[in-house]
Amino acid sequence: MEEPMCLIENNPNEQLRVNQEALKILQSIQQPVVVVAIVGLYRTGKSYLMNKLAGKKKGFSLGATIQAETMGIWMWCLPHPENPDHTLVLLDTEGLGDVEKSNIENDAWIFALSILLSSTLVYNSMGIIDQFALEKLQYVTELTKRIKVKATATKTSEDGEEENSDDFLRFFPAFVWAVRDFTLQLKLNGCPISSDEYLENALRRKKGMGKRKLDLAKKCIRQYFPSRKCFVFDRPAGSRDLSELDDLSEKMLSPNFVVQAHRFCQHIYESAHPISQVEIPDRYPQLNIIDIGIHGSIPCIENAVVALAQIENTAAVHDAITYYEAEIEKHLKLPTETIEELLKVHAQYEKEAIKVFLARAFKDDDHDYQKELGRLQSKLSELCSRNEQASLDRCQAVLLELFQDLEENFGKGTYSVAGGYLKFLDHQKEKLEQYHLLPGKGIMASKALEEFLKSKEAAAQSILQADRTLTEKEKELEGESLHKQMKEEAIKMAQEKERSYKEHEAQLMAKMEEDRKKMQAEHEMVMNRKLEVIEQRPLWAALVIYTRGGETWGLGDRS
């Protein structure tokens, strides 16, 4: 926060009211918070001391007049100077005992709220710890009138006072008394003492005081605040400079005051515990419950804790489920290839969601709210359904795209021919192979394919039926064509046989004629040669020539 803002409003003639805008800021803090509240009489320098804790010169408004400056309770949320993972929340309260107030009753409520909201309470007073300072702590004695720890009746002592201090200890903050403008020497019976011993001596009961109001205030401080610390401060500057205190540099301040303020701040930084360690959750929804007490009945811490547990644990369940849903949406891509992949991611972020719940859960002693995280199982069922649907959607889109060509071929009549069914099956097989190779189909790939093919059975059957009809007709036509072809071939064979016969006959006759002519030629040659021989013989040898048995004999041989 750049500057403080009002947390509890105290308007004239009105009751205290919680500033909802400031409450939202507190509820938004995710770190543990260390809350330091300061109370005390007005015009005692409370705001200046809180600015020192903030490490700022200006912040909480300082007043240089007799009129009170701070009204209600103002808060300032800052990074913790010593613990980077903590937030320091400073609460500066309206001065007690202002005579100009229209509603003095609110002083008691401011004191009570400061106790309930803080992990360390600083009581700021001026001068010394004396009877006057103790009397101004009358609000301690009235705490039981403003706050109840348990809803059941408490044990009552003989004097009628509620003895519930042990219960209060679990909720009350550490107590620091800051004595401002201290001018005395820290000595007791002539011996030096520490500021803490100074406080304890002041709170010691004196013999003979009986049950006076002053003694009751001491008793309440001792009982309600077992952790006590005291710091004494010199005047920070001269009287002339006090009106401009927030503008003074440390060099212009009292050296003793600078050292004392540094010790005070270091103690707060190092010893003030996170508010969760005093059994109050760190997001302050209890302010709404306390607000009820301000307007009527006495707020009961036990009832407040129960109510707070309901608020915080309900919110913790919501945070866990919201975290689970956001992480699943971010890291799980649907559809998954296997159900094991989905279950692994679910288990991882279910485990982290439980951590988110436990980080905010408050007093879930019976684990009733943690059991509500069983709703994550219904989230798993829902996730499985979404995964299946995403897989179906993906597969159907892929199948429609792959089979678009087949649909177009079907419309064009590509398969309305004999043998079209086999052609269709070949195309379908090719598309199915492509489908199986595509990644990212998810766990419903087989079922989606089965349903898709089932939806196409009618079309496939129509192709098959058309193919059968066309095939039978084609076979019939092919039979007739074959018969005709065989008849034609038989005629051609007969014609060829006749042609071949005639060819053979013609060639045989030609051969016979050729042989006859050849024989005739040879005969003529033989005859001519014989005639030549006869012509060469004597005439007497040729006188007798006769033929016997086809052979020619000639008489007149020389022998």
* Residue 189: CATH number of its domain: 3.40.50.300
Range of the domain at 227: 5-299
Q: Considering the domain boundaries, does residue 473 fall inside one?
A: yes
Residues 530, 415 share a domain: no
DSSP class of residue 162 equals B
Residue that terminates a domain, selected from 242, 270, 299: 299
Q: Considering the domain boundaries, does residue 416 fall inside one?
A: yes
Residues of the chain above pLDDT 70, percent: 74
Residues 517, 441 share a domain: no
Q: What's the pLDDT tens digit per position in 2-61? A: 899 999 888 877 777 888 898 888 878 888 889 999 998 877 788 889 999 999 888 887
pLDDT, average across residues 205-217: 64
Lowest mean pLDDT among 84-88, 102-106, 172-176, 413-417: 102-106
Burial of 389 (0-12, 13-18, 19+ CB in 10 A): middle
Contacts of 215 (CB under 8 A, 6+ apart): 205, 206, 209
Q: Alpha-carbon distance 503 to 309, whole Å?
A: 123
Q: Considering the domain boundaries, does residue 350 fall inside one?
A: yes
Tokens 């009350």 correspond to what residue?
172
Residues 151, 13 share a domain: yes
Strand pairing category for 120-126 and 87-93: unpaired
Residue that terminates a domain, selected from 299, 319, 341: 299
The tokens describing 371, both together, are: 């059991």
Residues 187, 71 share a domain: yes
State the DSSP H helix or E strand holding residue 476, giving kind and residue range, or none if neither: helix 457-536
Residue 262 sits at φ, ψ, to 5 deg, of -65, -45
Q: Alpha-carbon distance 404 to 184, whole Å?
A: 100
Residues 341, 251 share a domain: no
Position 363 pLDDT exceeds 60? yes
Q: Considering the domain boundaries, does residue 555 fall inside one?
A: no
To the nearest 10 degrees (0 to 180), the angle between helices 286-294 and 301-331 is 150
The 3-class secondary structure across 324-388, one letter per residue, is HHHHHHHHCCCCCCCHHHHHHHHHHHHHHHHHHHHHHCCCCCCCHHHHHHHHHHHHHHHHHHHHH
* Coil/strand/helix, residue 444: coil
pLDDT, average across residues 86-104: 76
The tokens describing 356, both together, are: 């988110």
For the chain, how many residues are written? 559
> What is the Rg, in whole angstroms, of the alpha carbon atoms belonging to the chain?
60
Higher pLDDT, 326 or 205: 326
Mean pLDDT is highest, among 366-380, 454-468, 499-513, for 366-380
Residues 164, 131 share a domain: yes
Q: Considering the domain boundaries, does residue 558 fall inside one?
A: no
Q: Alpha-carbon distance 536 to 309, whole Å?
A: 165
Evaluate the CA torsion angle 322, 324, 327, 331 in order and state its sign.
negative
For residue 293, name the pLDDT band (cuts at 50, 70, 90): very low
Q: What's the pLDDT tens digit per position in 109-126? A: 888 888 888 889 999 999
Residues 519, 414 share a domain: no
User: CA dist 557 to 10, 535, 549, Å?
Assistant: 188, 15, 19
Residue that terminates a domain, selected from 299, 316, 344: 299
The tokens describing 369, both together, are: 């709210």
Residues 409, 384 share a domain: no
User: CA dist 387 to 58, 265, 324, 325, Å?
Assistant: 58, 58, 16, 14
Tokens 């002539």 correspond to what residue?
190
Position 128 pLDDT exceeds 80? yes
pLDDT value of residue 69: 53
pLDDT, average across residues 326-338: 91
Q: Considering the domain boundaries, does residue 551 fall inside one?
A: no
Q: Alpha-carbon distance 259 to 268, whole Å?
A: 14
User: 324 with 379: CB under 8 angstroms?
Assistant: yes
User: 289 with 183: CB under 8 angstroms?
Assistant: no
Long-range contacts of 285-293 (CB under 8 A, 24+ apart): 285/23, 285/27, 285/311, 285/312, 286/116, 287/7, 287/18, 287/23, 287/26, 287/117, 288/18, 288/23, 290/18, 290/113, 290/116, 291/16, 291/17, 291/18, 293/146, 293/147
User: CA dist 457 to 247, 398, 416, 449, Å?
Assistant: 91, 19, 16, 12
Higher pLDDT, 87 or 13: 87
Per the structure, the count of domains in the chain is 4
Residues 515, 499 share a domain: yes
Residues 193, 111 share a domain: yes
Mean pLDDT is highest, among 52-56, 140-144, 416-420, for 52-56
Q: Alpha-carbon distance 37 to 451, whole Å?
A: 71
Evaluate the CA torsion angle 441, 443, 444, 445 in order and state its sign.
positive
Residues 453, 498 share a domain: no
Q: Considering the domain boundaries, does residue 503 fall inside one?
A: yes
pLDDT value of residue 77: 94
Q: Considering the domain boundaries, does residue 556 fall inside one?
A: no
pLDDT value of residue 228: 92
Residue 284 sits at φ, ψ, to 5 deg, of 65, 30
Residues 210, 142 share a domain: yes
Cα 119 from chain centroid (whole Å): 34
